A and B are shown apart, each in its own frame.
Chain A
């Protein structure tokens, strides 16, 4: 077997990780082992592309089959966010155009600072733990872990809203000093309100995350 074949003897990493994440603990090892063994057999027959396709197909089909049981919390959370985004987009389209609701500057002055303030108020470890608990469904956490994770989302949400208000007020001050140009007033006002909208959206997602962790803590402890 040549070097290139030796190098690619591992199954596709992303597919493997997805399957490992989705599988229940008691069959994770044998299932991944079985697939790995058959994948190597297929590669040995010089069918690398077919082997990769086969592995992806097995991982996707089996992974999606199990993830609704093992990662239910995560799936429902993502589903609720997609529903929220879908209806929000629909409302935007019905209201005119999506473009008027998108402003890169407003995004940049809300989201990165909100995350930075949250890191400062809590810690990187607590932030990582909060997202792990939210997207994981790890029942082995203690009371303290759940509480600190809730605090992370609480800080993130409130910081988003307060930043939104703050930036909106700054926008109004800037508009007030340039009231003589009435044509620029409308667009400037809309942009200033957008920062508050983004802050409120972040707060809403964080509220759902906070409540999700509360539910997890009540069911797991």
Chain B
């Protein structure tokens, strides 16, 4: 990844962070529910998988098919894992945002930082 590479989008960051938070239990349904619980965003499963596919193509996440369970109508889960490249992209985006936020105060909006 070079300095000219684009930073991750907001939703891409949310997805990568969700996968990291969920650890070995990161698949479509759990990621969707985590996003709904923490950032109150009710994303459609289609939008979720479209972004995950894009991240996988970029080499930022890996996926593997899991076990078939009864409550899923006999359908397998697709587990996701953040790759080393994905972690680096996340750190890079966070550092860029932190740098941009330095010495910024949003008093006018009534926020204290």
Classify chain A: how many residues form its interface, as a range. Answer: 20 to 34
B66 CB to nearest chain A CB (Å): 9
Q: A30-B27, A63-B46, A65-B46 are in contact. Are A36 and B73 (CB under 8 A)?
A: yes
The closest CB in chain B to the CB of A10 belongs to: B73
Report whether B78 and A30 are in contact in the complex, using a CB–CB cutoff of 8 Å: yes
Q: A27-B53, A30-B28 are in contact. List 12 more A-B contacts (CB 8 A).
A: A27-B78, A29-B65, A30-B49, A30-B76, A33-B29, A33-B72, A34-B27, A34-B29, A35-B29, A37-B29, A37-B71, A38-B33
Partner of B49, one of A31, A38, A40, A57: A31
Chain B, residue nearest A62 (CB): B46
- Find out whether the CB atom of A62 lies under 8 angstroms from the CB atom of B44: yes
Instruction: Decide if B47 touches A62 in the complex (CB within 8 Å).
Output: yes
Which residue of the partner chain B has the closest CB to A33? B75
Q: Return the chain A residue nearest B74 by Cβ.
A: A33
Instruction: Give chain A's interface residues, CB within 8 Å of chain B.
Output: 10-11, 27, 29-38, 40, 57-58, 61-63, 65-66
A38 neighbours in B (Cβ, 8 Å): 29, 32-33
Q: For chain B, give the interface size range.
A: 20 to 34
Q: How many A-B residue pairs have CB under 8 A?
A: 69
Report whether A65 and B44 are in contact in the complex, using a CB–CB cutoff of 8 Å: yes
Give min CB distance, B61 to chain A, whole Å: 14
Question: With the chains together, A63 CA to B27 CA distance in Å?
Answer: 19
Distance between Cα atoms of A11 and B29 in the complex (Å): 15
Residue of B with least CB distance to A26? B53
A33, B77: Cβ atoms under 8 Å? yes
The B39-97 residues at the A interface (CB cut-off 8 A) are 44-47, 49-50, 53, 65, 69, 71-73, 75-78
